[in-house]
C-alpha cells in the first residue's frame, strides 16, 4: 500500500504548520569547525525568528542538550528533542510530511546518503527521520529512494518542482531511470506532474537542490532566482530554467507565472563560490524567514524583501543574517522542516 492509494499528498509549505523541526549543528561534521560558535549563533537566530511565529522542535545530540537548552531558557516555543545525528541539515535527512483528504498526517522516510556520499559518516542522519516519526506517533512510509527534502518543492496540488542535476545524478539512484524516479514520487507524495529544471545554482555542492533556485509561491506561480550578467555562470542556468518554465503547465493545466528575484552579488570563500540564495527562505505561519546578506548585497537584499512583500502581502518578512551559516553549505530552508497541521 502506497501513500497515494490512501489519498496522501505532500502539502505546500505555506499550508498551516503545527511546528518547525530543525537540527542543532555538530562541530565534528562542519566544513569549518573553528566557526562552530558563530554557526551556533546563526542557528539560534533562525530558531528564535521562527519561534516568533510557531513552535520549534530542535533535534539535538544528547551531549549538547543542556548547553543548547540554556540558549533558549524562557522561550516556551522552543523544545529540544535529543536524537543523535551527524550533521544539521534536517530538510534533507528528515521526514517529508504528507496529509490525506481526511486530514491525517503521515510521513515519508527517504533513504539518505549525505548528498551522494560527500560526507561520511551519515548513518546517524539516515536514522533521524524514523525516530522523529515515531515520536510524532504517526504512520511511516519507507521509500526505496535516496532523496533529500531540499531537492523537491510541492504546490500542494500534485505538481513537484525539481532539478535533473540532483535527482538524476548517478550518486543518488544510479539504477533508476527518470521515469522510475517519477513513479516513486507519484506513489509516495502523489506527484501528478514533475517539472524538471536542468540545473541549480553554480557551485551548489548539493548537486543543484531546487530550494536554492526556485519554489512555488502559489499553485501556478513560481519564484525563480535570476541573474542578468552574461559573464556569470548563473546567467545560462537562469535562461535555461526560464525557457523550461515557459513551456510547461502544472498538474492542473495552468500556465506557469514566474516571479523573478535578482540574485545577490557573488561572494567567495577560500576561492569557492558560496551558494547565496534568497530562495532559501522558509514559510512560517503568517510569515517568511528570509536570509539577507548585507555588505555589497544591501540593494539586492532590499529588492528581495520588496519582491517577497509584494508576492505575499499577508505575510511578515522576518530577515535573518544569511551569512551566519552559509559557509557550511546551506541556509534557512536547508535547516528546517515544516510539520503540517492537517485537519
Nearest to 91 by CA among 328, 339, 270: 339
- Please list the active-site residues: 334
Query: What's the 3-state SS for 111-132?
Result: ECCHHHHCCCCCHHHHCHHHHH
In angstroms, the CA 327 to CA 268 distance is 9
In angstroms, the CA 153 to CA 161 distance is 5
Cβ distance 275 to 204 under 8 Å? yes
SS3 at position 141 = strand
In angstroms, the CA 87 to CA 67 distance is 18
Nearest to 146 by CA among 118, 138, 135: 118
In angstroms, the CA 125 to CA 94 distance is 8
In angstroms, the CA 88 to CA 307 distance is 29
Residue 83 CB neighbours (<10 A): 18
In angstroms, the CA 24 to CA 80 distance is 10
Helix runs in the chain, H state only: 36-51, 65-71, 90-93, 114-117, 123-126, 128-136, 164-167, 178-189, 233-246, 298-311, 332-335
Alpha-carbon distance values, 251 to 8, 143, 195 (Å): 16, 23, 9
Amino acid at each position: 500500500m502506497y501513500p497515494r492509494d490512501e489519498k496522501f499528498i505532500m502539502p505546500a509549505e505555506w499550508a498551516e504548520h503545527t511546528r518547525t523541526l530543525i537540527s542543532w549543528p555538530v562541530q565534528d561534521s562542519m566544513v569549518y569547525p573553528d566557526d562552530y560558535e558563530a554557526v551556533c549563533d546563526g542557528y539560534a537566530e533562525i530558531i528564535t525568528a521562527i519561534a516568533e511565529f510557531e513552535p520549534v522542535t530542535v533535534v539535538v545530540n544528547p551531549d549538547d542538550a543542556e548547553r543548547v537548552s540554556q540558549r533558549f531558557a524562557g522561550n516556551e516555543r522552543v523544545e529540544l528533542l535529543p536524537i543523535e545525528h551527524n550533521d544539521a541539515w534536517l530538510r534533507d535527512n528528515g521526514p517529508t510530511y504528507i496529509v490525506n483528504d481526511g486530514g491525517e498526517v503521515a510521513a515519508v522516510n527517504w533513504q539518505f546518503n549525505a548528498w551522494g556520499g560527500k560526507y561520511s559518516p551519515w548513518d546517524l542522519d539516515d536514522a533521524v527521520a524514523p525516530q522523529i516519526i515515531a515520536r510524532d506517533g504517526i504512520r511511516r512510509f519507507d521509500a526505496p529512494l535516496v532523496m533529500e527534502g531540499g531537492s523537491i518543492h510541492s504546490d500542494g496540488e500534485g505538481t513537484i518542482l525539481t532539478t535533473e542535476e540532483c535527482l538524476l545524478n548517478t550518486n543518488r539512484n544510479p539504477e533508476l531511470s527518470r521515469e522510475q524516479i517519477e513513479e516513486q514520487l507519484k506513489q509516495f507524495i502523489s506527484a501528478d506532474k514533475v517539472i524538471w529544471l536542468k540545473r541549480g545554482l553554480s557551485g551548489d555542492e548539493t548537486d543543484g537542490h531546487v530550494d536554492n533556485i526556485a519554489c512555488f509561491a502559489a499553485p501556478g506561480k513560481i519564484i525563480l532566482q535570476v541573474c542578468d550578467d552574461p559573464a556569470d555562470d548563473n546567467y545560462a542556468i537562469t535562461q535555461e530554467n526560464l525557457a523550461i518554465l515557459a513551456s510547461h503547465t502544472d498538474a492542473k493545466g495552468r500556465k506557469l507565472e514566474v516571479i523573478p528575484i535578482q540574485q545577490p552579488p557573488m561572494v567567495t570563500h577560500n576561492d569557492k563560490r558560496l551558494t547565496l540564495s534568497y530562495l532559501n527562505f522558509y514559510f512560517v505561519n503568517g510569515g517568511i524567514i528570509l536570509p539577507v546578506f548585507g555588505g555589497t548585497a544591501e540593494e539586492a537584499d532590499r529588492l528581495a524583501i520588496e519582491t517577497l512583500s509584494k508576492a505575499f502581502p499577508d505575510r511578515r518578512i522576518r530577515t535573518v543574517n544569511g551569512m551566519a551559516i552559509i559557509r557550511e553549505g546551506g541556509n534557512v530552508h536547508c535547516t528546517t522542516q515544516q510539520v503540517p497541521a492537517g485537519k
